[in-house]
Structures are given as structure tokens and as C-alpha cells.
Homo-oligomer: A and B are copies of this chain.
Amino acid sequence: MPSVTEIASFLASEFPHATWTVQSVGNMSATLRHPIGSAELRPGGTVSGPVLMTVADVALYVAILGEIGIVPLAVTTSLNINFLRKPSADRAIIGHCKLIKLGRTLAVGEVNLYSEGLDDPVAHVVGTYAIPRDRS
């Protein structure tokens, strides 16, 4: 299975402008870190919802790639997010994904999102990915 370095290299080519980094992958899980700057904030000093959704979506993708290998055509089919607490404006967002099902054609995972260094999640996501049948 691919290493963190191999997945990070693949993602860097697929998302050349991304600022997040893959912290870990393997054992049906993955952790992503997204630094927060002024571009990710909304007035009131909160991290925008789409930034949280992006981190969750990519963390799911990375966790799946960590299990099945680098399959660019895996695509999100659904994502359900609950916003729990206001994220800190001056801390990175950490997304920790745990896959709860990895079938032949469908993967399901959950992602807890945190302001780095704090214990309580700021959002919780459940997402599903369709995995292409013919992968080589």
C-alpha cells in the first residue's frame, strides 16, 4: 500500500494549490492538517464551513487511497456534516478520518474535525465514496 509520501506526492500533483498536509495514513484511517489564514476565515473570526468540508473530503480520500492504492477515480457520492463548535481563528484544522466500511464499490468513513490542540471536535462528517470497479 502507498506510503504517506507517495500519497502526498500524488495529491500535490492533483491539487497543486492545496495548503494542507497529510500527517498520517494507514489502518483504515488518515489525518490531515490544514493551516488557517485570512483566506479561510469568515468575518467574526470563524473558519468557513467549506474549508471544514474540504478537509473532511480529502481526509476520506486519503484514508481510502491508503487501503486500495492510488485510484484517482474514486469520487465522493455523499457527505453529511454537523457543525458542533466555533473553530478557533488562529489554529490549524485537523481532520481525522476513520473508515467504517470498505466494500468493493463503496467506502464509508467518518471524520472528526478539530482546532489543533483542542479536545472537542468542531465538526463531524460522514461521507461515502464510490470506488471504480475496474482499477489497474
Copy count, this protein chain: 4
User: What residues on B are CB-neighbors of A14 within 8 Å?
Assistant: 42-43
In the complex, the answer to whether A76 meets B49 with C-beta atoms within 8 Å is yes
Chain A residue total in the interface (Cβ 8 A): 37
Q: Does A19 reach chain B (CB closer than 8 Å)?
A: no
In the complex, the answer to whether B128 meets A100 with C-beta atoms within 8 Å is no
In the complex the two chains form, what is the Cα distance from A129 to B77 in whole Å?
12
Q: Does A85 reach chain B (CB closer than 8 Å)?
A: yes
In the complex, the answer to whether B72 meets A78 with C-beta atoms within 8 Å is no
17 additional A-B residue pairs with CB within 8 Å, beyond A50-B57, A82-B126, A124-B126:
A14-B43, A15-B42, A49-B53, A49-B54, A49-B57, A49-B76, A77-B83, A78-B78, A78-B81, A79-B79, A79-B80, A82-B108, A82-B128, A84-B101, A84-B108, A105-B105, A106-B130
Chain A interface (Cβ < 8 Å from any Cβ of B): 14-15, 17, 39, 42-44, 49-51, 53-54, 57, 72-73, 75-85, 100-101, 105-106, 108, 110, 121, 124, 126, 128, 130
